[in-house]
Amino acid sequence: DQQVKQNSPSLSVQEGRISILNCDYTNSMFDYFLWYKKYPAEGPTFLISISSIKDKNEDGRFTVFLNKSAKHLSLHIVPSQPGDSAVYFCAASDTARQLTFGSGTQLTVLP
């Protein structure tokens, strides 16, 4: 049973527009959430994170929103750039600091 779900395997967005990537989780014990970005033939790289005590965290063009009651988080990229084209993984951390990953969303930013 998947505890972290990314229901959209792919997303295409026009350059300059907003990209919104979604993630749902089922385990109430998750207390920290991370987004990783992965280019082909490379390892995942950390992008942005949020603690469960917050509902928003912003870093430049990237903002993560957390809705605890809905067990939902989203990553907003504004404005989207062609270099943002990659697979984005949502991950959730429990009290043991183990990460549970979603299956990823392939973002394609069209020039």
Partner 1 sequence: NAGVTQTPKFRVLKTGQSMTLLCAQDMNHEYMYWYRQDPGMGLRLIHYSVGEGTTAKGEVPDGYNVSRLKKQNFLLGLESAAPSQTSVYFCASRGTAKSETQYFGPGTRLLVL
Instruction: Give the interface with partner 1 as residue ranges (CB under 8 A).
Output: 4, 6, 9, 32, 34, 36, 41-46, 49, 89, 91, 93, 97-104
Counting DSSP H helices and E strands in the chain, the numbers are 0, 11
Q: Identify which of residues 7 and 14 has a Cβ nearer to partner 1 in the complex.
A: 7
Cα–Cα distances in Å, from 12 out to 20, 70, 79, 111? 10, 25, 13, 11
Give the helix ranges, DSSP H, for the chain: none
Evaluate whether 76 touches 63 at the Cβ level (below 8 Å): yes
Task: State in angstroms the smallest separation of the CB of 14 from partner 1.
Answer: 26
Q: Identify which of residues 52 and 79 has a Cβ nearer to partner 1 in the complex.
A: 52
Task: State in angstroms the smallest separation of the CB of 64 from partner 1.
Answer: 13
Task: Report the distance separating Cα 88 and Cα 69, nearest Å.
Answer: 23
Residue appearing with tokens 């967005």: 13
Task: State in angstroms the smallest separation of the CB of 15 from partner 1.
Answer: 27
Q: Identify which of residues 85 and 89 has a Cβ nearer to partner 1 in the complex.
A: 89
Task: State in angstroms the smallest separation of the CB of 57 from partner 1.
Answer: 12
Q: Identify which of residues 42 and 111 has a Cβ nearer to partner 1 in the complex.
A: 42
